[in-house]
Amino acid sequence: MTNFVREASRRISVCRDVDVIVAGGGPAGIAAAVSAAREGASTLLVEQHGCVGGVWTTGMLSLILDFENKNGLMAEIVSRLEARGAGYNNERGGQVYDVEAMKLLLEEMCVESGIEIRLHTRVCAALTDETGKLTHLVTESKSGREAWQAEIFVDATGDGDLAAQAGCGFDLGRPEDGLTQPMSLMVLLTGLDKQQIAPWVHSFKPNDGIEKRSLLQTMKNAGITPSYLSPILLQLHDNLYAMMANHECGVLGVSADDLTRATLRARGEVNRIVETLRASGGVWGNLKLVATGAQIGVREGRRVHGLYEITREDVISGKRHDDAVCRVTFPVDVHSQKEGKAFDHGGVKAQSYDIPLRALIARDVPNLLLAGRCISGDFWAHSSYRVTGNAVATGQAAGVLAARCAANGESPRELARQTVHQLQPCSTV
């Protein structure tokens, strides 16, 4: 086998020229695209999977965290889910939702706002001009290789794929060894009686995690120890539950080999857990697995360098900024990279702190914005702001800024200085 081959250069047709292109249709990408379109920008959203929503839908997350102090699009999504009976606030600290209803709602929001969506299409390259400005992104799909042109681009791929392809600097994993947080594969379950299962269902009422400990003990008693030692069971509606019970350690979300290995192992493990619980009988006797996520949940990818890096010190001190786009109220949440341990928070205690708009502006490419978990921050800060309430808020801010830049012909860094106050979509109270 030779180590390298050379691919012949080829002409690629340019499919569209729009104001704003958003790469990745997860919570951050949806928010960015809808906000840009509502500001009047012609907007294209490119998503690799067959639905939008990212970890909310293909990842079957089922729980929105750190959303309560966010108005704007986050509040709109929550109220529209509740209006169709597809979501409820779990009393304290989480909005539970029905995964299928979320898929449909997000698609409807995209269509209503006039976004052009391209599903089943992966961003695989970026073209820049002599000034370093991004001119086109290149995609691969069933239609082959295609190029798409825009004034402003938003990287909402979670892993910073577009930024990396465009030549941005980034960090990945812990500074000492590059390890990232483990991955987990979500599972939907049915066949449980609402009254009988209550002691195992995560309630979010102030308690000491008794339901999670009961679930772990029940699994152990049945004969299986899950790789995630703080397993969680959520009730989505009458007879539908979501469970997270596995940890895939030592794998990277930016390696296709790692993703493949982790997915195969995780799907095997969660099936074994369900079979073992069912075999234990009693309240679990009719347990059935409805679905596993089409995409394993990746907690951590590239953290792209921005004009500002949110740091551990910001989190500890509760840093405020004049250009805040939202306030994070979620704690540091590091799932342990060590097998046999659930968390590794390193004693870091967060106070509520701000995400500044500068953390969404790529340092190395002038017309590229960042949204969601790939924004600019260090390992510890990322473990706190990564949850989806903040992903939506950063997406909304990036989308508004992108549309205004495209309309005014100004760069994000020029415009952000002038219009900071109109870009605060989310309550900072």
Ligand X SMILES: Cc1cc2nc3c(=O)[nH]c(=O)nc-3n(C[C@H](O)[C@H](O)[C@H](O)COP(=O)(O)OP(=O)(O)OC[C@H]3O[C@@H](n4cnc5c(N)ncnc54)[C@H](O)[C@@H]3O)c2cc1C
- In degrees rounded to 5, what are phi and psi of residue 33? -70, -45
Q: Binding string, 95-124, against ligand X, x = CB under 6 A?
A: ---------------------------xx-
Q: Which two tokens stand for residue 22?
A: 């958003």
Q: Which member of 161, 323, 354, 378 binds ligand X (CB under 6 A)?
A: 161
CB of residue 229 to ligand X, shortest distance in Å = 15
- Rounded-to-integer distance, Cα 71 and Cα 16, Å: 33
Closest CA to 184 of 266, 65, 291, 77: 266
Helices (H) and strands (E) in the chain, counts: 11, 18
- By CB under 6 A, residue 386 contacts ligand X: yes
Q: What torsion do the CA atoms of 280, 281, 284, 285 make, to the nearest 10 degrees?
A: 130
Report if residue 29 touches ligand X, rule: CB under 6 A.
yes
Q: Which window, 60-68, 170-178, 313-321, 401-409, contacts ligand X (CB under 6 A)? A: 60-68
Q: Which stretch binds ligand X (CB under 6 A): 47-55, 68-76, 82-90, 280-288?
A: 47-55
| 188-to-156, 233, 235, 351 alpha-carbon distances in Å | 26, 10, 10, 33
From 94, 355, 51, 301, select the one nearest 201 (Cα to Cα). Answer: 94
Would you give the end-to-end CA distance of the chain in angstroms?
A: 61
Question: Rounded to whole angstroms, how far apart are CA atoms 254 and 256?
Answer: 7
| Residue 49 is a binding residue for ligand X (CB under 6 A) | yes
Given the rule CB under 6 A, which of 155-163, 192-200, 336-344, 404-412 is the region that contacts ligand X?
155-163
Q: Checking DSSP bridges between strand 240-244 and strand 187-190, what pairing results, if any?
A: antiparallel
* Stretch 285-314: interaction string toward ligand X, x if CB under 6 A: ------------xxx---------------
Q: Which of 19, 25, 34, 153 binds ligand X (CB under 6 A)?
A: 25
- In the list 48, 69, 367, 383, the residue contacting ligand X (rule: CB under 6 A) is 48
**Residue 253 or 356 having the CB closest to ligand X:** 253
Minimum CB distance to ligand X smaller for 68 or for 364: 68
Task: Tell me if 64 contacts ligand X by CB under 6 A.
Answer: yes
- Cα distance between residue 277 and residue 267, in whole Å: 16
Binding footprint of ligand X on the chain (CB under 6 A): 23-29, 46-49, 54-55, 61, 63-65, 122-123, 156-159, 161, 184, 244, 297-299, 372-373, 386-388, 391
